Amino acid sequence: MATARCGPSIREFLEYYVLVLLDAKRRTTRELADEMESRSAENRPFRSSGVLHVGIRQMESALYRLADQGWVRLRLPGGQWGITGAGRRARREMEQKSPDASDSKQPATWKLMARLKNAARGSYVLDVGTGEGFLARKLARRGFRVLGIDSGAFDYSKDSIEKARRGARSDNGRLEFRRADVTELPRPRRGFDYVVSSQAVHCMKDPPKCLEAIYHLLKPGGRFLAVDFLVGREGFFAHGFHCFLALSREEWAELLPAIGFDDIHMYKIKNYLVVNARRPSSGRHASATASAAA
Ligand SMILES: C[S@@+](CC[C@H](N)C(=O)[O-])C[C@H]1O[C@@H](n2cnc3c(N)ncnc32)[C@H](O)[C@@H]1O
């Protein structure tokens, strides 16, 4: 059984999507929770916890919050919930007010790159889940020494590393691609100055384990920078249920310090989230797996 996801990002989506479901037909609390889960079932091949499992208590609280606003009403007998006229208007407003849902991966990537503007040329950077080298190549062109790794975990990614190598011929030896899983990559003697990741954490089978591996691959004082989907209503408008494979802001905020990262910053770039965290120069390390958020 999947664990229920919670926090403001999930709640905000839930309240919107309940209105969508009730706009189509009346449903009981249980039917709403089941429908939510079955619509996000496309995430299961990536990771079973990527399915949006909603607990009954969580669904009930969302419904009572919506009822307080006058947007839904409980119909008795039968215990079915229905949408009100005000609820329909609220739904339309949320959709109209939603910012441009076009893909904002490029601006999010620029934000990540901007965090590296003071990095020494020649810094050693690991790109985890590099795919065909989208980010690794940009960084090599900036003068960094880059290792791009990909586990080839999916059908679409099993040849990525070969394709990345073919595209990397002009990068003057600053760029290397290897097929590897981040949890099995040996640590270079002094560790990486930076570990980056573009739209890959949501693809990981076990994000907390991978983030812990990233922590150990960094040199003390090194930084982890990631771009991934924004979880919540805005993320949903752009990426559909797929956005729920990513970690929400609340989950990042819980997980990163539990692993030992500090100086954590997050930037919302439309429907993407950029995460910036440091492995302290010295200090503790706590295992995150106990409080795994994903
Ligand atoms: C959606 S692709 C992103 C590719 C590229 N970074 C981009 O932005 O276009 C995510 C990649 O992460 C890789 N991946 C998933 N889990 C991984 C792991 N544990 N170690 C290394 N790569 C992994 C997958 O094979 C996939 O190619």
Residue with structure tokens 């570990």? 195
Could you read off the pLDDT of 247-264 as tens digits, one per residue?
Answer: 999 999 999 999 999 999
Residues whose CB falls within 8 Å of the CB of residue 84, separated by 6 or more in sequence, listed in order: 70, 71, 72, 73
Confidence of residue 138 (pLDDT cuts 50, 70, 90): very high
pLDDT tens column, 7-34: 899 999 999 999 999 999 999 999 999 9
Q: In this predicted structure, what is the pLDDT of residue 293?
A: 37
pLDDT tens, residue by residue, 259-281: 999 999 999 999 999 999 999 99
The most confident of the ranges 96-105, 151-160, 162-171, 214-223 is 214-223
At residue 291, the pLDDT reads 39
- Torsion from C-alpha of 57, 60, 62, 65, nearest 10 degrees: -120
How is residue 15 annotated by DSSP?
Answer: H
Cross-strand partners of 282:
none
Task: State mean pLDDT over 56-65.
Answer: 95
Report how far ligand 1's centroid is from the alpha carbon of 73 (Å). 44
| Rounded distance between C-alpha atoms, residue 177 and residue 168, angstroms | 9
Say if ligand 1 is within 6 A of residue 199 CB.
yes
Distance 160 CA to ligand 1 centre (A): 9
Q: Helix count (H) and strand count (E) of the chain? A: 10, 9
Pocket test for ligand 1, best of 203, 212, 229 (most atoms within 8 A of CB): 203
Query: What is residue 177's predicted lDDT score, i.e. its pLDDT?
Result: 96
Mean pLDDT, the chain, rounded, equals: 91
Integer Cα distance of 198 and 90 in angstroms: 34
**Ligand 1, pocket-test mutation among 46, 103, 150, 227, most atoms within 8 A of CB:** 150
pTM of this structure? 0.92
pLDDT at 290 over 50: no
Q: Say yes or no to pLDDT of 284 above 70.
A: no
Span from the CA of 225 to the centroid of ligand 1 (angstroms): 15
**Cα 90 to averaged position of ligand 1 atoms, centre (Å):** 38
Least Cα distance to 224 among 213, 237, 235 occurs for 213
Whole-angstrom distance, CA of residue 154 vs CA of residue 94: 35
Q: Are strands 262-269 and 175-179 parallel, antiparallel or unpaired?
A: unpaired
Report pLDDT digits (tens) over 213-228.
Answer: 999 999 999 999 999 9
Domains of the chain: 8-96 (1.10.10.10), 105-291 (3.40.50.150)
∠ Cα 118 123 125 (to 5°): 105
Ligand 1 pocket test, candidate residues 113, 125, 138, 151, most atoms within 8 A of CB: 151
Residue 109 CB–ligand 1 contact under 6 Å? no
| Centroid of ligand 1 to alpha carbon of 156 (angstroms) | 10
Token digits of residue 78: 């039968």
CA atoms of 269 and 106, how far apart (whole Å): 10
Ligand 1 binding pocket includes 204 (Cβ within 6 Å): yes
Q: Supply the pLDDT for residue 46.
A: 86
Is the CB of residue 112 less than 8 Å from the CB of residue 104?
no
* Ligand 1 atom nearest residue 127's Cα: 6
